[in-house]
Amino acid sequence: MLLDVNLSLILLAALIAVASPGPATLALAGTSMASGRASGLALAAGITTGSLTWSVAAAMGLGAVMLAHVWIFEMVRYFGAAYLMYLAYKAARSALSNKDLATKSFAGGKRSLYAKGLALI
DSSP string, 53-73: HHHHHIIIIIHHHHHH-HHHH
The Cα–Cα gap between 59 and 25 comes to 24
Averaged over 33-45, what is the pLDDT?
A: 91
Averaged over 90-105, what is the pLDDT?
A: 77
The Cα–Cα gap between 51 and 53 comes to 5
pLDDT tier, 7 (very low <50, low <70, confident <90, very high otherwise) = low
Averaged over 40-59, what is the pLDDT?
A: 85
**46, 88, 119 from 41: Cα distances, Å:** 9, 30, 15
Question: Cβ neighbours of residue 119 under 8 Å, at least 6 residues apart?
Answer: 46, 50
pLDDT per residue as tens digits for the range 67-96: 788 887 788 789 888 988 988 898 888 888
The answer on pLDDT for 29 being more than 80 is yes
pLDDT tier, 39 (very low <50, low <70, confident <90, very high otherwise) = very high
The Cα–Cα gap between 47 and 84 comes to 22
pTM of the model: 0.56
